[in-house]
Chains A and B, each alone.
Chain A
Amino acid sequence: MSNAVSQPGAIVAEHVTKVYEDIEHGEEVVALRDFNLTVQPQEFVAILGPSGCGKSTFLNIVAGFEPVTGGVVKVDGHAVTGPGADRGVVFQDFALFPWLTVQQNIEFGLRNQGMPSDQRASMAEGLIRLVHLEGCARRYPRELSGGMKQRVAIARVLATNSPILLMDEPFGALDALTRFAMQKQLLEIWEKHQKMVLFITHSIDEALYLADRVVILSARPGRILKVLEISDPRPRDLTSPSFNTMRAAALRLLEEEVNVASQAGAYVASTATA
Chain B
Amino acid sequence: MSSISLPLAKRVDRPPRRRLRSLLKKILVPIVLVVLWEVAANAGMVDVRFIPAPTKVLAAWYQWIFGTQKTLGDPYVGTWALHALQSGYRVLLGFFFAGAVGILLGVLIGYFRLFGELVDPLLQMLRPIPITAWVPFAVIFFGIQTPSAVFLIALGAFFPIVVNTTAGVNRVPRSLIRAAQMLGTPNLKLLPRVILPAALPSIFTGLRVGVGMAWVLVVVSEMLAVKGGLGYVLWDSYYYMRMDIIIAAMLSIGLLGFVSDWLILQISNHVVRWNEGR
Interface residues of chain A, those whose CB is within 8 Å of chain B, are 63-65, 82-85, 87-89, 91, 93, 95-100, 108-109, 112-113, 140-142, 156-157, 160
Q: How far apart are the CA atoms of A265 and B92 in the complex, in Å?
A: 60
Q: How far apart are the CA atoms of A108 and B193 in the complex, in Å?
A: 9
Choose from B173, B182, B198 the contact partner of A85 (Cβ within 8 Å): B182
- Do the beta carbons of B179 and A98 come within 8 Å of each other? no
**B71 at interface by CB-CB < 8 Å:** no
Q: How far apart are the CA atoms of A105 and B176 in the complex, in Å?
A: 11
- Do the beta carbons of A95 and B184 come within 8 Å of each other? no
**B175 at interface by CB-CB < 8 Å:** yes
Please tell me the size bucket of the interface on B: 20 to 34
Q: How far apart are the CA atoms of A100 and B200 in the complex, in Å?
A: 13
The A contact surface, by secondary structure, is loop
**B70 at interface by CB-CB < 8 Å:** no
Cβ proximity bits B154-185 to A, threshold 8 Å, 1 near / 0 not: 00000000000000000001011011111111
Q: How far apart are the CA atoms of A95 and B181 in the complex, in Å?
A: 12
User: What number of residue pairs across chains A and B have CB atoms under 8 A from each other?
Assistant: 71
Please, which residues of chain B bring their CB within 8 A of the CB of A97?
176, 179-180, 194, 197-198
- Do the beta carbons of B183 and A85 come within 8 Å of each other? yes
Choose from B175, B183, B194, B200 the contact partner of A156 (Cβ within 8 Å): B183
Q: How far apart are the CA atoms of A16 and B182 in the complex, in Å?
A: 21
Q: How far apart are the CA atoms of A95 and B179 in the complex, in Å?
A: 7
Please, which residues of chain B bring their CB within 8 A of the CB of A65?
178, 181
Known: A109-B184, A112-B184, A160-B184. A95 touches B178 (CB 8 A): yes
Known: A63-B178, A89-B178, A91-B179. A98 touches B184 (CB 8 A): no
The stretch of B37-45, B253-261, B269-277 in contact with A is B269-277
The closest CB in chain B to the CB of A87 belongs to B182
Q: How far apart are the CA atoms of A108 and B173 in the complex, in Å?
A: 17
Write the nearest CB–CB distance from B97 to chain A, whole angstroms: 27
The closest CB in chain B to the CB of A60 belongs to B178
- Do the beta carbons of A85 and B184 come within 8 Å of each other? yes
Please, which residues of chain A bring their CB within 8 A of the CB of B178?
63, 65, 83, 89, 91, 95
Write the nearest CB–CB distance from A8 to chain B, whole angstroms: 21
Known: A89-B178, A93-B175. A99 touches B197 (CB 8 A): yes
Within residues 193 to 221 of chain B, which ones have a CB less than 8 A from any CB in chain A? 194, 197-198, 200
Please, which residues of chain B bring their CB within 8 A of the CB of A113?
184
- Do the beta carbons of B275 and A108 come within 8 Å of each other? no
The closest CB in chain B to the CB of A89 belongs to B182
The closest CB in chain A to the CB of B181 belongs to A83
Q: Taking each of B173, B184, B273, B275, which has the highest tally of chain A beta carbons within 10 Å of its own beta carbon?
A: B184
- Do the beta carbons of B198 and A88 come within 8 Å of each other? no
Please, which residues of chain A bring their CB within 8 A of the CB of B200?
99
Known: A141-B274, A142-B275. A95 touches B183 (CB 8 A): no
- Do the beta carbons of B276 and A142 come within 8 Å of each other? yes
24 residue pairs bridging A and B, Cβ less than 8 Å apart = A65-B181, A84-B182, A87-B182, A88-B182, A89-B178, A89-B179, A91-B178, A95-B178, A97-B176, A97-B179, A97-B197, A97-B198, A98-B274, A98-B275, A99-B197, A108-B183, A109-B183, A109-B184, A112-B183, A112-B184, A112-B186, A141-B276, A142-B275, A156-B183
